[in-house]
């Protein structure tokens, strides 16, 4: 049994070792030999008993006696096999454990402990693995060492990234931050020295008062600790309940708010209102002061409503409804309702006496508003309105009205009258509007007249020429009577040239001039033509309004088309009144023959020239088609034969359509489409790294850094160096302390959090 | 708002000055503690109460600041210094990009706020002339103003009677201290107009069409009958530049050190006065160029032409950047405001027009009965227009429609040159009978930049400034319609860029080499070659024979 196990062991070893291949077979051979020897011996013992054996035994003994000690050893081992020689024992031939144990049991000298130990060993069947090879061993060691080192290094990772991302690094790194320290830090290091301080602190300590500014005094903390468990439980339950209730309520409110049914809300609101009224009445009985406050609130709401345009059918919704109102009963109703809301809200709550007052106030308000009405600064717009102009020029009777004061008086009376009317018929909102509009239009007319009268005066200076030098004294006079001065000055200018008169006239003159040149009229202009015909203003004020309303969309349409070139140049000009008239004409410039001619034919073909040039430029930019068809290739050629359509299509090269011109919508401007390549070497030609698109980069460099554009502090902040080293300071590698610091911080934070959680139930 | 804030701060300061023993936490009454020492039950409620009290006490002790934080900055002032809009932040996972952007945003925000805050340090404010009721400001005469104001300001109104040498062109130096007069008939004078100290006076014995100060007070350029001359402040001729002939108008671009000249031969030329080289010469092909002005915002030159157009030029482009049709007649004068927002033109059609030069759109148009021959805009946006011998000054021509001039003044002859004095409420008028210095309240910028144009600088400061200005000189290549172009990424396609490179180099660096057949002499006679040829032929022969044989077989 033992032998077999030996062989197995050796086999195993051969497997494990792998490299040491030759030894096991040798061992095997030895054993075989032994076996053979054994067998022979057995045979011989069977054949001839007694004598031979004894002889041999004797001989062996004799030989053994020669060696002394060895003899004894042999004698000892003679049990297993007869021929047990020292030569048969190899280094690999180990002693089996069982053998050893056997002997140990016999030897009384071995301790019980070792015995036990060996027994245990025997019981465990698995064999001990052989040690690894040196290389493998080293590799494993290296691996382990690397992992250790990596762990060590990775602990620094956070600090390193932090430093990498930092805006500025100041070396040496672990410096005390300069500047004021937080009070806690300073106090920590502080000790009581003077006797008074000592006394105070001893008192504090005795009374268990916090020496630092803590949240809880020690006594309080003790009380918190002393609070019994049940109490805490009760409090917690209370709080939980409150929280749950709140959440239910919130959920309910959210649900209700989402309900879209108007009827539901209406009912709800009504109920609320009723309740409110009830409450209010109760309040009046119980607590008049609170009731007054409520009233005040209502008054404020009314004020707000009066100020705002909320329920006055002027919003987007109301406008959309107004369109539908003609056909839809519901829409009408809705609008009506909104108005009612407004009425309700704006209704005054107090007695009749105050009502009268209010009426008075309103009256006053109206009178106050009057001059504002009259002084409306919209005359510019109106003068640009061709329709208005046409009508006014035809209206001779109203030309006589010059005095603005008269106008204001009239306007005032008209307004007051209308106000009265309004009060008379409150329900008719639309009528009111119409009246107001009418009034507006009238007002505008009057203002136009004023402007026109002045313009006319400028035009119609037909008296004889007076070439007087206007002295300084005269100037004052002129300012007093402006119109006279103007006429005088126009008289002076009359002699300069007829061209002046033409231009000095209103737009019509230049427009005519334009017409002669261009002979083009857009469709819109044709539309406008009939509107220029005079209409009588007093007869139908509302149609006027309609017309102006009609005109607006047409104008907007025109805008969409783009500005017409000639419209730009013949834009309405404002005549400037000059108090001093120049007596000297610029002779130098007039002398120039060419200039003189230029002026004589002012505006002759300037516009058409420009338009032509612009068109030419546009054409240049347009894509051209290159035709590369060769007649006769692959087909019949000759006179009267055209290359086929397919071929033409195939060989026609179209260049890409360029982007739209920058001056597309600017009729009087030609912008060069050439690229400014002079600046390109100074520009950034490719986007720098972290940026995704040019806009980001451009905005990041939009602020200049220089001192010319920034304050000193900004410059310093923006040009801060990334790394600052202190002169003469030794920059050492980061020490482990740095790491520990960070860890401490973290742990401290954790601890504080723990304490907080501990204290929370007490709260 | 700021004043309120300041007052609050002051009050607080004063309050803190009043001596009062500072309240400490150990000063609080300790009765409760004693009473509570024994107790344990119902502690929580009491404690809460106590804490509340403590909090209250704390509030009492630290008197709350009614205006916490830094002083607010008015929005309009922030708007004044705003440069561009912020951009939306990138998605979160682009950490680096986000970091860069947030940092730059922070910096620009700080810059903006600081600039707006420090605007407070500009102490001077501009005033305006205000008439009594029913009194037009334009009727107030110069004498009245000069009498009403203090002596030094009153002395700024004066007339120089120079009848001999004809109408005068005027130019103030950049700081507004020195005045240069150039008479049509050759009279040239420069002097400190405030102290009336004459620096030089000469007659160049030639007709003078324009005068201009160069970058310093010691040099000026004069466009004479034939050539362009440069004199120093002592009247010594420094240069005669023959490359610049028949110059009619000049403009000096102070930050580029460029002298732009417009000539009768329709050439627009740029002279770099720091290096003395001609930067660009552009033939505008539009005839005589006698109307010229510069846009101080982007250093673009505006030229007015007889066909009613105004063209915009930069030295980098041979064609006009923009061509605008402004008048029906010829353009007589052009002016651009300091911020480069508005352009005012006057033409033969006797109109005065205001354009938004950024959008290139007309804003308003006025009719001046006599037409304006000269226009000039002041630093604060007053417009002066000369109609014959009357100089009119207008306020706010672009924002509100004007019907009357703000001021008017009659001079002796027809006006030939007109310029507002920088940093002074003075308008210089050069006319046929000499020169008039007018008082125009509210014309000049009250706050000057001491590092840029300091009217009170010493000689040393001037030298310093000159060196710095030369170091900060802007290259002429950077002149473009939009001065922020430089901060833009060049988005030209590869092709475009390549074309530009080819143009600048004169050849295409990436071009494929054209195939040129080599004239190769074949060494046919070498022994090896012969052998090889034989081998080839032999092989072919074999094949041919084989093929022949097979074909014969097939035929059989």
β-pair partners for B532: none
Calculate how close chain B gets to A158, using CA atoms only, in Å: 16
Mutate to test the interface with A, among B93, B369, B395, B405 (most CBs of A within 10 A): B369
ipTM: 0.78
Predicted confidence band of residue B195 (pLDDT cuts 50, 70, 90): very high
CB of B547 within 8 Å of a chain A CB? The answer is no
Q: What is the mean pLDDT of residues B256-264?
A: 96
Determine how β-strand B361-367 pairs with β-strand A574-575: parallel
Tokens of A544: 């006027």
β-pair partners for B249: B262
Q: CB-CB: which of B101, B306, B404 is closest to A577?
A: B404
Q: Tell me which chain B residues have a C-beta less than 8 angstroms from the C-beta of A679.
A: 316, 477-478, 480, 485-486
Q: Look at the pTM and tell me if it is higher than 0.80.
A: no
Q: Give the other-Cβ count within 10 Å of A170's Cβ.
A: 14
Q: Which of B138, B107, B447, B373 has the alpha carbon at shortest distance from A714? A: B107
Interface A–B counts its CB contacts (< 8 A) at 308
- Closest residue in B to A613 (Cα) is B323
Helices (H), ranges, A314-351: 316-324, 329-346
**Residue appearing with tokens 């109307």:** B291
Q: How many residues does chain A have?
A: 763
Q: What secondary structure letter does DSSP report for B139?
A: G
Q: What secondary structure letter does DSSP report for B308?
A: S
CA dist A547 and A555 (Å) reads 12
- Please tell me whether the peptide bond between B67 and the residue prior to it is cis, using omega within 30 degrees of 0: no
Residues 235-294 of A with CB under 8 A from B: 235
> Residue B223: exposed, middle, or buried by beta-carbon count in 10 A (0-12, 13-18, 19+)?
buried
Q: Cβ separation of B135 and A589 shorter than 8 Å?
A: no
B52 has pLDDT over 50: yes
> Residue A746: exposed, middle, or buried by beta-carbon count in 10 A (0-12, 13-18, 19+)?
exposed
* Mean pLDDT lowest among A364-373, B67-76, B254-263, B346-355: A364-373
**How confident is the model at residue B311, as a pLDDT?**
95
Mutate to test the interface with B, among A669, A674, A675 (most CBs of B within 10 A): A669
CA dist B516 and A84 (Å) reads 100
CA dist B539 and B529 (Å) reads 15
Q: What is the mean pLDDT of residues B264-274?
A: 95
Residues 155-174 of B with CB under 8 A from A: 167
Tokens of A92: 């690999």
Q: Tell me which chain A residues have a C-beta less than 8 angstroms from the C-beta of B26.
A: 200, 204, 209
Calculate how close chain B gets to A595, using CA atoms only, in Å: 8
**How confident is the model at residue B302, as a pLDDT?**
96
Higher pLDDT, B90 or B312: B312
Contact B169, B163 (CB under 8 A): no
CB of A493 within 8 Å of a chain B CB? The answer is yes
CA dist B515 and B510 (Å) reads 15
CB of B47 within 8 Å of a chain A CB? The answer is yes
- Closest residue in B to A670 (Cα) is B323
B462 has pLDDT over 90: yes
Q: What secondary structure letter does DSSP report for A92?
A: S
Determine how β-strand A169-171 pairs with β-strand A723-725: parallel
Residues 168-207 of A with CB under 8 A from B: 200, 204, 207
Q: Cβ separation of A681 and B477 shorter than 8 Å?
A: yes
Q: CB-CB: which of A493, A580, A606 is closest to B410?
A: A580
Contact B168, B209 (CB under 8 A): no
Q: Cβ separation of A573 and B366 shorter than 8 Å?
A: yes
Q: How many residues does chain B have?
A: 556
User: Tell me: the pLDDT tens digits for B363-391?
Assistant: 999 988 888 999 999 999 999 999 888 99
Exposure string over A96-130, b if 16+ CB within 10 A, otherwise e: beeeebeebeeeeeeeeeeeeebeeeeeeeeeeee
The sign of the dihedral angle between the CA atoms of B541, B547, B553, B556 is negative
CB of B201 within 8 Å of a chain A CB? The answer is no
B470 has pLDDT over 50: yes
Q: Cβ separation of A594 and B43 shorter than 8 Å?
A: no
- Closest residue in A to B314 (Cα) is A676
Q: Cβ separation of A573 and B328 shorter than 8 Å?
A: no
Higher pLDDT, A572 or B532: B532
Contact B215, B466 (CB under 8 A): yes
CB of A598 within 8 Å of a chain B CB? The answer is yes
**How confident is the model at residue B199, as a pLDDT?**
94
**How confident is the model at residue A664, as a pLDDT?**
87
Q: Cβ separation of B316 and A679 shorter than 8 Å?
A: yes
CA dist A449 and A528 (Å) reads 22
Helices (H), ranges, B433-486: 459-471
Mutate to test the interface with B, among A474, A509, A580, A588 (most CBs of B within 10 A): A580
B3 has pLDDT over 80: no
The alpha carbon of A63 is separated from its chain's Cα centroid by a whole number of angstroms, namely 108
Sheet holding B187-192, edge to edge: B168-172, B178-183, B187-192, B197-203
The DSSP line for A30-65 is HHHHHHHHHHHHHHHHHHS-THHHHHHHHHHHHHHH
- Closest residue in A to B96 (Cα) is A690
Q: Which of B276, B239, B266 has the alpha carbon at shortest distance from B320? A: B266
β-pair partners for B179: B172, B191
Contact B244, B263 (CB under 8 A): yes
Q: Cβ separation of A681 and B97 shorter than 8 Å?
A: no
Tokens of B332: 């007589």
- Closest residue in A to B95 (Cα) is A690
Q: Which of B151, B320, B256 has the alpha carbon at shortest distance from B469? A: B256
Averaged in consecutive runs of 10 residues, what is the pLDDT profile of chain A (763 residues)? 44 42 42 45 54 88 72 51 55 62 68 82 79 93 96 89 88 73 66 84 81 65 76 89 94 90 89 91 87 88 83 82 83 85 74 42 38 36 41 40 41 44 43 57 59 39 39 41 43 41 40 35 40 38 41 42 53 67 50 58 74 90 84 82 84 85 90 88 88 88 89 91 90 80 57 49 40
CA dist A463 and A455 (Å) reads 17
Q: CB-CB: which of B26, B101, B409 is closest to A204?
A: B26
Determine how β-strand B390-394 pairs with β-strand B383-387: antiparallel
Calculate how close chain B gets to A624, using CA atoms only, in Å: 19
CB of B387 within 8 Å of a chain A CB? The answer is yes
Mutate to test the interface with A, among B312, B325, B357 (most CBs of A within 10 A): B325
**How confident is the model at residue B519, as a pLDDT?**
78
CB of B285 within 8 Å of a chain A CB? The answer is no
B16 has pLDDT over 50: no
Q: CB-CB: which of B325, B486, B497 is closest to A610?
A: B325
Contact B46, B36 (CB under 8 A): yes
> Residue A603: exposed, middle, or buried by beta-carbon count in 10 A (0-12, 13-18, 19+)?
buried
CB of B119 within 8 Å of a chain A CB? The answer is no
Q: CB-CB: which of A584, A613, A668 is closest to B324?
A: A668
CB of B104 within 8 Å of a chain A CB? The answer is yes
CB of B249 within 8 Å of a chain A CB? The answer is no
CA dist A287 and A268 (Å) reads 27
CA dist A265 and A250 (Å) reads 18
Q: CB-CB: which of A217, A575, A695 is closest to B87?
A: A695
- φ, ψ of residue A375 to 5 degrees: the values are -80, 15
Q: What secondary structure letter does DSSP report for A172?
A: S
CA angle B353, B354, B359 (to 5 degrees): 130
Q: CB-CB: which of B47, B105, B401 is closest to A220?
A: B47
Contact A195, A205 (CB under 8 A): no
**How confident is the model at residue A149, as a pLDDT?**
95
Q: What is the mean pLDDT of residues B524-544?
A: 77
CB of B122 within 8 Å of a chain A CB? The answer is no
3-state helix, strand, coil in chain B (%, to 5): 30, 30, 45
Exposure string over B280-301, b if 16+ CB within 10 A, otherwise e: bbbebebebbbbbbbbbbbbbb
Q: Tell me which chain A residues have a C-beta less than 8 angstroms from the C-beta of B486.
A: 679, 682-683
**How confident is the model at residue A445, as a pLDDT?**
62
β-pair partners for B356: B342, B361
Report helix angle A736-759 to A157-165, nearest 10.
100
Contact B348, A598 (CB under 8 A): yes
Calculate how close chain A gets to B529, using CA atoms only, in Å: 46
* Mean pLDDT lowest among A368-377, B282-291, B336-345, B361-370: A368-377
Q: Which of B200, B249, B201 has the alpha carbon at shortest distance from B221? A: B249
Q: What is the mean pLDDT of residues B231-237?
A: 94
Tokens of A314: 């002027």
Q: Give chain B's mean pLDDT.
A: 85
Q: What secondary structure letter does DSSP report for B89?
A: P
**How confident is the model at residue A215, as a pLDDT?**
60
Q: Cβ separation of B368 and A703 shorter than 8 Å?
A: no
CA distances from B175 to B205, B215, B456 (A): 29, 10, 8
CA angle A278, A280, A282 (to 5 degrees): 70
Q: Cβ separation of A580 and B390 shorter than 8 Å?
A: yes
- SS3 state of residue B481: coil
Higher pLDDT, B462 or A187: B462
Residues 6+ apart with CB under 8 A from B20: none
């Amino acid at each position: 049994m033992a032998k077999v196990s030996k062989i197995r062991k050796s086999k195993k070893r051969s497997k494990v070792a792998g490299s040491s291949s030759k030894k096991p077979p040798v061992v095997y051979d030895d054993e075989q030999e032994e076996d053979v020897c054994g067998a022979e011996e057995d045979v011989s013992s069977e054949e001839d008993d007694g004598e031979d054996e004894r002889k041999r035994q004797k001989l062996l003994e004799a030989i053994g006696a020669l060696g002394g000690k060895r003899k004894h050893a042999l004698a000892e081992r003679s049990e297993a096999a007869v021929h047990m020689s020292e030569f048969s024992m190899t280094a690999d031939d180990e002693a089996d454990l069982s053998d050893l144990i056997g002997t140990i049991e016999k030897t009384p000298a071995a301790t019980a402990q070792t015995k036990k130990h060996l027994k245990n060993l025997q019981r465990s069947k698995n064999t001990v693995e052989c040690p690894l090879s040196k290389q493998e061993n080293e590799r494993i060691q290296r691996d382990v060492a690397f992992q250790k080192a990596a762990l060590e290094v990775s602990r620094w990772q956070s600090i390193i990234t932090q430093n990498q991302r930092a805006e500025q690094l100041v070396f040496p790194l672990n410096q005390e931050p300069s500047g004021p320290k937080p009070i806690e830090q300073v106090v920590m290091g502080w000790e009581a020295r003077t006797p008074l301080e000592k006394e105070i602190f001893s008192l504090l300590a005795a009374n268990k008062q916090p020496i630092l500014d803590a949240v809880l005094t020690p006594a309080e903390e003790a009380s918190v600790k002393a609070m019994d468990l049940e109490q805490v439980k009760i409090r917690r339950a209370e709080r939980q309940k409150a929280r749950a209730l709140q959440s239910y309520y919130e959920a309910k409110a959210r649900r209700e708010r989402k309900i879209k049914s108007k009827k539901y809300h209406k009912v709800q609101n009504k109920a609320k209102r009723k309740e409110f009224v009830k409450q209010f009445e109760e309040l009046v009985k119980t607590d008049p002061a609170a009731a007054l406050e409520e009233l005040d609130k209502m008054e404020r709401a009314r004020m707000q409503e009066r100020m705002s345009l909320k329920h006055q059918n002027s919003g987007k919704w109301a406008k959309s409804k107004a369109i539908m109102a003609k056909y839809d009963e519901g829409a009408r109703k809705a609008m009506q309702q909104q108005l009612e809301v407004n009425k309700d809200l704006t209704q005054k709550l107090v007695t009749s006496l105050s009502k009268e007052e209010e009426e008075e106030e309103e009256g006053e308000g109206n009178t106050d508003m009057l001059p504002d009405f009259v002084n409306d600064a919209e005359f510019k717009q109106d003068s640009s309105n061709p329709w208005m102009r046409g009508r006014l020029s035809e209206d001779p009777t109203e030309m006589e009205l010059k005095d603005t004061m008269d106008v204001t008086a009239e306007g005032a009376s008209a307004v007051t009258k209308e106000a009265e009317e309004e009060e008379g018929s409150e329900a008719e909102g639309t009528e009111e509007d119409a009246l107001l509009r009418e009034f507006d239009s009238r007002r505008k007319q009057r203002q136009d007249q004023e402007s026109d009268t002045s313009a006319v005066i400028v035009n119609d200076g037909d008296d004889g020429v007076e070439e007087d030098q206007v002295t300084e004294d005269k100037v004052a006079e002129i300012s007093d009577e402006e119109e006279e001065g103007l006429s005088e000055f126009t008289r002076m200018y009359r002699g300069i040239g007829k061209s002046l008169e033409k231009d000095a006239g209103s737009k019509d003159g230049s427009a005519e001039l334009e017409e002669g040149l261009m002979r083009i009229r857009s469709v819109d202009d044709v539309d406008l033509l009939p509107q220029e015909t005079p209409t009588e203003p007093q007869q139908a004020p509302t149609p006027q309004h309609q017309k102006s309303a009609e005109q607006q969309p047409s104008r907007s349409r025109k805008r969409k088309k783009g500005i017409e070139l000639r419209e730009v140049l013949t834009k309405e000009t404002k005549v400037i009144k000059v108090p001093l008239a120049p007596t000297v004409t610029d002779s130098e410039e007039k002398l120039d023959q060419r200039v003189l001619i230029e002026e004589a034919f002012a505006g002759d073909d300037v516009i058409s020239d420009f338009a032509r040039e612009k068109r030419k430029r546009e054409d240049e930019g347009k894509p051209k088609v290159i035709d590369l068809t060769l007649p006769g290739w692959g087909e019949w050629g000759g006179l009267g034969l055209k290359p086929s359509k397919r071929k033409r299509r195939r060989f026609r090269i179209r260049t890409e359509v360029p982007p739209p011109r920058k001056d597309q919508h600017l009729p009087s401007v030609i912008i060069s489409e050439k690229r400014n390549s002079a600046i390109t070497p100074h520009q950034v030609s490719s986007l720098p790294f972290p940026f995704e698109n040019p806009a980001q980069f451009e905005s990041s460099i939009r602020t200049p850094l220089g001192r010319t554009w920034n304050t000193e502090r900004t410059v310093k902040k923006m040009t801060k160096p990334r790394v600052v080293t202190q002169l003469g300071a030794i920059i050492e590698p980061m020490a482990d302390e740095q790491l520990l610091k960070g860890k401490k911080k973290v742990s401290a934070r954790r601890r504080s959090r723990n304490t907080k959680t501990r204290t929370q139930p007490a709260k | 708002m700021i004043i309120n804030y300041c007052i609050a701060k002051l009050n607080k300061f004063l309050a803190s000055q009043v001596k009062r023993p500072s309240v400490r936490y150990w000063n609080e009454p300790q009765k409760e503690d004693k009473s509570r020492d024994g107790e344990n039950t119902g502690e929580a409620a009491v404690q809460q109460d106590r804490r509340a009290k403590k909090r209250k006490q704390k509030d009492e002790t630290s008197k709350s600041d009614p205006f916490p934080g830094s002083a607010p900055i008015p929005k309009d002032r922030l708007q004044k210094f705003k440069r561009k809009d912020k951009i939306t932040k990138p998605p979160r996972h682009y950490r680096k990009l986000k970091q860069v952007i947030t940092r730059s945003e922070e910096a620009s925000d700080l810059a903006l706020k600081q600039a707006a805050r420090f605007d407070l340090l500009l102490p001077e404010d501009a005033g305006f002339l205000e008439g009594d009721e029913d009194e037009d400001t334009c009727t107030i005469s110069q004498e009245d103003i000069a009498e009403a104001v203090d002596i030094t300001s009153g002395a700024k109104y004066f007339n120089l009677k120079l009848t001999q040498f004809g109408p005068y062109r005027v130019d103030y130096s950049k700081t507004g201290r020195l005045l240069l007069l150039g008479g049509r008939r050759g009279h040239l004078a420069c002097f400190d107009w405030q102290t009336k100290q004459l620096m030089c006076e000469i007659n160049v014995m030639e007709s003078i069409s324009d005068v201009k100060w160069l970058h310093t007070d010691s040099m000026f350029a004069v466009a004479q009958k034939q050539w362009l001359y440069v004199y120093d402040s002592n009247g010594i001729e420094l240069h005669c530049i023959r490359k610049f002939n028949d110059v009619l108008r000049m403009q000096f671009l102070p930050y580029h050190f460029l002298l732009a000249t417009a000539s009768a031969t329709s050439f627009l030329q740029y002279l770099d006065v720091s290096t003395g080289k001609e930067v660009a010469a552009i033939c505008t092909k539009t005839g005589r160029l006698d109307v010229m002005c510069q846009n101080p915002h982007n250093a673009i030159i505006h030229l007015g032409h007889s066909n009613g157009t105004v063209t915009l030029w930069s030295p980098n482009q041979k064609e006009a950047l923009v061509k605008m049709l402004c008048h029906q007649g010829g353009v007589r004068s052009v002016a651009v405001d300091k911020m480069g927002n508005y352009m005012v033109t006057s033409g033969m059609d006797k109109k005065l027009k205001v354009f938004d030069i950024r959008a290139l759109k007309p804003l308003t148009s006025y009719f001046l009965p006599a037409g304006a021959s000269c226009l000039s805009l002041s630093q604060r946006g007053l417009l002066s227009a000369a109609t014959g011998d009357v100089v009119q000054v207008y306020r706010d021509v672009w924002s509100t429609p004007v019907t009357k001039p703000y001021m008017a003044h009659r001079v002796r002859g027809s006006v030939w040159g007109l310029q507002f004095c920088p940093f002074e409420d003075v308008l210089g008028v050069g006319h046929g009978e000499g020169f008039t210095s007018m008082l125009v309240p509210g014309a000049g910028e009250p706050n000057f930049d001491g590092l840029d144009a300091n009217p009170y600088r010493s000689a040393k400061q001037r030298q310093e400034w000159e060196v710095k200005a030369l170091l900060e000189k802007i290259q002429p290549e950077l002149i473009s319609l939009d001065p922020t172009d430089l901060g833009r990424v060049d988005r030209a396609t590869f092709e475009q860029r390549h074309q530009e490179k080819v143009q600048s180099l004169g050849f295409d660096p990436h071009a494929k080499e054209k195939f040129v057949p080599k004239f190769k002499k074949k060494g046919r006679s070498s022994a090896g070659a012969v052998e090889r040829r034989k081998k080839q032929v032999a092989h072919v022969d074999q094949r041919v024979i084989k093929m022949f044989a097979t074909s014969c077989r097939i035929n059989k």
